[in-house]
A and B are shown apart, each in its own frame.
Chain A
């Protein structure tokens, strides 16, 4: 049914890529500047989302790759969920040990 109607705004390749890049940049900025480990974890999720948007966009606009982009996005989604679980577990452990989740304080590997 939607395919019979002309789109209100034609959403092209560039729209998707710009959105993906913007999400990635926002996530990147968050990951690099936040001190709270949970915030960083969330920022990384945003970066992953940006990547997934890019994948799906390419899958829609490049003929011949079928559902490859979508499948990749599903993988990223799965891995991101697992990563979030592991990440939060690490953060809880760090908190128990050091009573803080500020990444500035977690510098025992300093050379």
Chain B
């Protein structure tokens, strides 16, 4: 089955095409087509994972664009542990989100369009994971970006959604441009874009510094944009304007993780550049801490989750930058499941109360007990409480960070504490106490409840795949991809104990402040540190700076350019036109229509010629 792994992205593609060319007239059929397509992809993905676990490796490449004088651009796919793992994550989460969407998007005017784009997204993401060269990855990379744009702007008649879609597209484009430049640069340096060939060159000394570091850091720029790392993190919170299942699939589990996956895929290149590793780890750690602090003050449940996502993606980057690629990937897998679950839970309660504002929720455990349990378990997993999945991967990353630099370790630890606090702040605000808004009971469709329960399973158990007491099967599975420095991270009891204590501490602090569903304690703390609170609540004014840059600087330059265009460039063009018109207007006077005048001119001309001919004769050539 691995030989024909291209079926995996092909199935949702067929669904998308069927919806685009006809089925969209029937919303119900569109929904089912997408679910069917993704189901096929999921089943095949599991078969492929089984074969990969049994040791099957496939790497097939086809010539795509022949170049007259040079190597052809290839397209191809590979099946290796990294791909097989990602296939499972993407297809499973996508399948459950599609099922959830049937209930969540019920009655939406753009129902068929929504499912069409979801199918297109799933195809692109699966293709990205399967692609074995940077060019193909880039093609799918742009496709997922496009789908992200289309789905964030699903409710495009709302200005905020349209703005958020544009913002997401433009901000990620900054990073994508770096990625594209990096691809061109690496191709110019080595003549190949096959990841395996580049890895061999890096290992054998065919690709050396500074080209190696420059190339991989340009690729990392793409990952920074897609994975919402500082300083290109600003689009992710706004992307929450999209439908919640979209946030769950694209902006929590898969597309934003594509940046991390890209760094894991190129890890055999990355690991040969200590500078690049340091940059990746530093950006990751900073983003993790930076975004976690913003999660502390947000009152929008989806934005809390968005900050948390960017923060956790920073964690994964930190793991990869610290050389523990397997740990980063492990966290990616676990995070995909529990964060998708958290988003679907958020969707469930938003569906109930029709608001994103945590301060208007409260007491929701009465109406949504299943959601309450699921969200609590997922939040515990995110907080890194054993034995849930988040604990195992987070611990590996912490262990790796501790081995690189104490500052990174400290940042990761503080982030863990903050994560536990803000997640349970959200949980308590939503579910504890009594209702502060106008929640009224109405039943939830089964299609929304079942995915919650289904995602609970991996949230609880996926961590054991990499659990040290089972010999870390996940680490062993990825072993050998890249030479690896501490690839198979060892279990440090002290690290685990410390991080668990901090996680529990965060939960308890959240309970102390928000446990009763009261807001006054939190408000009192906020009032005491008002200036700090203001800075964080305004997202460190990063958006303001960008707006200033975009609004004043760019528009100022644009104004100057426009003036130059209108006066100088247009002036030249219009000037030429004016000269033509004016000279025509002058010369037309000559055309008096008086035949005799023409004759006079003719005569004068003949006389002039005659004089010119005769004068030299008379003077003997001397004028």
Contacts and interface: CB of A to CB of B under 8 A. Distances in A.
Interface stretch (A8-16, A66-74, A78-86, A103-111): A103-111
Contacts of B583: none
B593 A32 contact: no
A111 B589 contact: yes
Interface band, chain B = 10 to 19
A91 interface: no
Interface string A40-59: 10000000000000000000
Interface stretch (B145-153, B256-264, B596-604): B596-604
B594 A32 contact: no
A111 B603 contact: no
B528 interface: no
B591 A110 contact: yes
A13 B590 CA distance: 41
A75 B594 CA distance: 29
Nearest to A109: B593
Contact of A32 (B587, B590, B600): B600
Contact of A28 (B590, B593, B595, B603): B603
A25 B593 CA distance: 24
B599 A106 contact: no
B532 to A, nearest CB: 80
A32 B603 contact: yes
A31 interface: yes
B593 A108 contact: yes
Contacts of A107: 592-594
Give the most central of A103, A106, A111: most B CB within 10 Å: A111
A103 B589 contact: no
Contacts of A109: 591, 593
B593 to A, nearest CB: 3
Contact of B593 (A31, A33, A110): A110
Contacts of A108: 593
A103 B591 contact: no
B158 interface: no
A111 B600 CA distance: 18
B440 interface: no
A32 B591 contact: no
A103 B600 CA distance: 14
Nearest to A33: B596
A104 B594 contact: yes
Interface residues of A, number: 13
Interface in B212-228: none
Contacts of B588: 111
A54 B33 CA distance: 101
A75 B587 CA distance: 38
A33 B594 CA distance: 12
B535 to A, nearest CB: 75
Interface string A85-111: 000000000000000000110111111
B597 to A, nearest CB: 9
A23 to B, nearest CB: 16
A15 B75 CA distance: 98
Contacts of B603: 28, 32
B599 A32 contact: yes
Give the most central of B588, B589, B599: most A CB within 10 Å: B599
Nearest to B591: A111
A7 B595 CA distance: 45
B345 to A, nearest CB: 83
Interface in B573-617: 587-596, 599-600, 603
B590 A103 contact: no
Nearest to A29: B603
Nearest to B589: A111
A41 to B, nearest CB: 12
Contacts of B593: 106-111
Given A31-B599, A110-B592, A111-B592, 18 more contacts: A28-B603, A31-B596, A32-B596, A32-B599, A33-B596, A40-B596, A103-B594, A103-B596, A106-B593, A107-B592, A107-B594, A109-B591, A110-B593, A111-B587, A111-B588, A111-B589, A111-B591, A111-B593
26 contacts: A28-B603, A31-B599, A32-B596, A32-B599, A32-B600, A32-B603, A33-B596, A40-B596, A103-B594, A103-B595, A104-B594, A106-B593, A107-B592, A107-B593, A107-B594, A108-B593, A109-B593, A110-B591, A110-B592, A110-B593, A110-B594, A111-B587, A111-B589, A111-B590, A111-B591, A111-B592
Going nearest first, the 3 A-B pairs with the smallest beta carbon separation are A111-B591, A107-B593, A110-B593
